[in-house]
Amino acid sequence: MAKVSILGGGSWGIAIAVLLHKNGHEVTVWSALADEVEMLKKRHEHKMLPDVRLPQDMIFTADDREAVEGRDLLVMAVASAYTRITANRISGLVAQGQKILNVAKGIEEHTLMTLSEIIEQEIPQADVAVMSGPSHAEEVGRGIPTSIVVGASSKETAEYIQNLFMNEVFRVYITPDVLGMELGGSLKNVVALAAGIADGLGYGDNTKAALITRGITEIARLGTAMGGKFETFCGLTGIGDLIVTCASMHSRNRRAGILIGQGRSYEAAMAEVQMVVEGVYSAKAAMDLAQKYQIQMPIIEQVNKVLFEGKSAAQAVKELMLRDRKEEILDVPWEK
């Protein structure tokens, strides 16, 4: 049995807490929000996961020291925008070599750093890993079969976390390609916004299939230029995560995109979804990375124009369709 603290009382953190508790581990859930802690203590359920009952012996706290000290694993499950402030807050309590698993997805806008890079910068003494893949909290919390990937610089660390999480309904693969995982998990949220926008405009399956396949092409093009492995973008944390985020109504990014396609601003869409829409935060960073590495990302570019420049969604789709004629695969020679 391991002692694990989940840092973040949102739906994903709670789903992971339930999974680890079922695996026999001692689980503590920490939140910076005192009212959220009290709600969890009193109701033993999360408002976003009404079908999931939390066990009576699960610990809920807002005390940093109680959550961090003596824990075998810290699971960082706060929204990406709060990763740095949370890491900075607990840094002085983290022991040398203490394991931290980040399960959020995003890129910091002003630094273009991945979330694991932020944690390593704020807590240099920690042993940092990441977990990503097609995994909606609503399904993981209910024990629906799910496959996911853990990435770390050390195989020993990756295998340790794999053993903590894996069971008959939660399959865990491991990889050393942390960068590829994080880029796939972050950038797919922006493409999922595009997929939702297309739904909001009333377009169909043909449009979504095109966005998914051309979207993963853009993600892989940038990701490999930055040092990620092409195979990663063909796997669970690439195309797998992209498919589920573009297709499912569990996806907050798709739902926000639908509202934007129907004419709402991104601020109004986020307010209606009532959850953090990570794709909005990652969109500008994705465009900045594309410019930095001189990579063409037309879908990402049009999403940014719709979100932040007042461009109509219908016009953005039209411009995507009317771009210059191209070959789909550039490295395959013609016979004639």
Helix/strand/coil (H, E, C) string of 16-42? Answer: HHHHHHHCCCEEEEECCCHHHHHHHHH
The residues annotated with a catalytic role in the active site are 188
Q: Do residues 228 and 177 touch, judged by C-beta distance below 8 A?
A: yes
Helix/strand/coil (H, E, C) string of 70-134? Answer: CCCEEEECCCHHHHHHHHHHHHHHCCCCCEEEECCCCECCCCCCEHHHHHHHHCCCCEEEEEECC
Alpha helices in the chain (DSSP H): 11-22, 34-43, 64-68, 83-90, 115-122, 137-140, 155-165, 178-200, 205-226, 230-233, 241-247, 252-261, 266-273, 278-292, 298-308, 313-321
